[in-house]
Each structure stands twice: as C-alpha cells, then as structure tokens.
Amino acid sequence: MPRDPVLRGSDPGDGPPELPEMPEPLEAAETAEAGAAEGFDADDARLDDRLRPQCLDDVVGQSKVVERLRIVLEAARRRGDPLSHLLFDGPPGIGKTTLATVLPRELGVDVQITSGPSLSAPKDLLPYLTNASRGSVLFIDEIHRLPPTVEEFLYPAMEDFRIDITLGEGLNARTINMTLEPFTLIGATTRSGMLTAPLRDRFVNREHLDFYDVEDVTEILRRNARKLRTELHEGAAVAIASRSRGVPRKANNLLRWTRDFADAGGHPQITDALADEALRMLEVDILGLDSLDRKYLQILVTVFGGGPAGMQAIAHSMNIVPETIENEVEPFLLRVGFVQRTPRGRVITAAALAHLGLTLDEEPGEGQGQLFD
C-alpha cells in the first residue's frame, strides 16, 4: 500500500524550526509574513497545515500540557536520547495532531505520519518501523483503531526496538529478529477508553487535551486571520470564538466561512455585524448549536415530551444513524447541560428549554425567533 510522506526535521540549533519541502498534503506552513511574501494562497489545499502552529512558542492554550512537553523535550535534548513514547487523547479538533508534528520540529528529527485504520496488518506497519531513523517520530492517529495483530506487533518495537518477522508457513516457518533504530511513537486518540491496557501502559507520557476557553480561541482566530490576510474585528473574533464550542478546528472553519461570506459580498473586513450575519446564515446560534443540535432537542420535546427517550427511537425520528448522534450531537449537548442521560433514556433539561424558548406544553416552532438573539 502507498505510504504517507516523511516530514524532515530541521536542525534545532538553526533557530525556530521550519518544515521543509515535502510531498502534498503534509507540507508545513510558513509564518504569515513568509506566506505573504511568497504569494500565499489561503484557498490552497494545504490550508489546514498552514494554519497550524510551527513550534511550541506558537501554541495557544493547553498551557499545562505545553509546559510538561517542554520539560520532556529539554530532558531528551540534554541526554541525547529519543523522546519517550507519548500519547495524546482528547476530543476531535483540539490540537493532538498539531502537537504531534510540532515536537519533531522542536527536536529537528523526521516524522512519519499514518493512522490506525490504514494499518490493517503488520506488513503495513513494517515499512514505517524499518525506515525510522534514530530519534525520529512515528505518529499514529486514531491509534485506538489498530487491529490486535498490529498492536501486538508494536509491543517489542516500543519496548526493545526490535521486531520479529516470520517467514514461511508451517514446518518451514522461521523467525527473523530485526533490530530497529530507537524511535518515538506518538499516538493520538479520541477514545482512550478503547485502548487496551498493554498498549496504553507502554506510553511513558500521556497527555489529555481539554476544550479551549473563549479567550484562547479568540487569540487563535486573531493569528489565523493574519495568516489569511483578513482583517478581523475584535467583536467578530469573539463572536466566532463563542460559537466554536471550545474547538480550534471548528473556530477555523467558522473563520473561513465568514471570510468567504465577506469576500462574496465585496467586504474588505469582517466586522462585528458581518460576522453575526454570516453565522446566522450558517444557522449557528450564540452557544454554537447548529441545526442538527436544535433538531435533536426539538424532537426530544415535541415527539417524546422532553424524555426519557431511547437512542434508537431518537435516531429513527431524526432519520440519521445513532452513531452520528452519539459522536457529533450529544457530546456538546451533554457538556453544556442541555441533555441528561438516565437509565431510561435521554431527558431534556430546563436550560435547553430556556435557550430554545420552549416549554414542554408548547407547540413546535414557537419561540424560535430567539435562537440567534
């Protein structure tokens, strides 16, 4: 199977590391100034990578995690050893991949990038291990989705930097022991509970990334607006950040939408009023609820009388699969206290009813005018 490109590290002694040239789509971002000087195209397919921080000093938020990472980085530099294996867990879009690619840049080493679903058998993992150079990083995203055979193949590679390869079958089978260069495995997962204990315990350092506060997301938006060469008013930045659910990826998506909205209307700046208008068109309300979230809550009220209601029944009423609700809709509604899970099913809360402007006796559609106020 085709392998993902390798990102080459820079010499950490040459100042702030930059990601060198490499095959798409993993080419690194330059700074906003360098991008502008080189004719930076904000609509490029590599936009996500260009908006990512390029060193730890550029990372906004997650201050305690970043502080601990600085310690392990400095310890690895002083000893001249590879970085200890590291696991990042947290919700999607929170910065796990960003940190996993920043660390090799800080050390000036190569990084290979792959994901759990793409490693269906040990033979798929073998090229990454044999091509690893001393101190280099292998980043496996969605590591909780590794098949058991691949996971077990990783154990000796992580602990002893060796792998056992079996050639032939039956009585003619023989095992070759291959020594690997010492490397660092960085894993990322949105479901740490799905990791097996043997795999989880082999990560010396484990870091949980939490949601960002509005102030940190606002600062991320300011920086990325400059990279996009877009003038973003302060009130507009706060409005977008407030609707991002504390997730930088979602904030960047909303920023790009408001930028498109402004450009399509011939507006040179994203003003407070323009951002509000753009977000209304996108049907994202002041708390970040979108149309699917509101449909879930409204069905819980109008069809099930506020609950309790089972997941399958709600999914059938919404005409979507339960996995979409569990993975995309409910996590945020549970976090803001709009839904409760009980042994009998989901129940809407008074806070959700107040936000929607509904009561349990009200007909659907009443009070909807306040969704975006």
Q: What does residue 191 show for φ and ψ, rounded to 5 degrees?
A: -140, 75
**pLDDT tens-digit readout, 219-278:** 999 999 998 888 999 999 999 999 999 999 999 999 999 999 999 888 889 999 999 999
Q: Which is catalytic among the residues 52, 105, 249, 346?
A: 249
- Chosen domain end from 177, 208, 239: 208
pLDDT at 37 over 70: no
Q: Based on the domain organization, do 161 and 46 belong to the same domain?
A: yes
| Annotated catalytic residue within 190, 302, 349, 359 | 190
* pTM, entire model: 0.76
Q: Are residues 178 and 137 in the same domain?
A: yes
Domain end marker among 157, 187, 208: 208
Does 277 lie in the same domain as 235?
A: yes
**Do 359 and 301 contact (CB within 8 A), yes or no?**
no
Active site residue 260: no
Among residues 97, 114, 184, 189, which one is catalytic? 97
Cis peptide before 25 (omega within 30 of 0): yes
Rounded-to-integer distance, Cα 354 and Cα 105, Å? 48
Is residue 141 part of the annotated active site? The answer reads: yes
Q: What's the mean pLDDT in 53-76?
A: 90
Total tally of structural domains belonging to the chain: 3
Give residue-wise pLDDT tens across range 331-363: 888 988 999 989 898 999 999 899 888 777 644
Identify the active-site residue in 49, 110, 141, 216: 141
97 noted as active-site residue: yes
- H or E stretch at 152: helix 148-160
d(CA 165, CA 176): 5
Is 190 marked active-site? yes
Task: Classify residue 276: in a domain, yes or no.
Answer: yes
**Phi, psi of 178, deg, nearest 5:** -115, 130
**Same domain for 92 and 224?**
no
In contact, 271 and 233? CB cutoff 8 Å: yes
Tell me which residue range forms the domain holding 319: 291-370
CA atoms within 13 A on the CB side of 58: 26
Same domain, 204 and 220: no
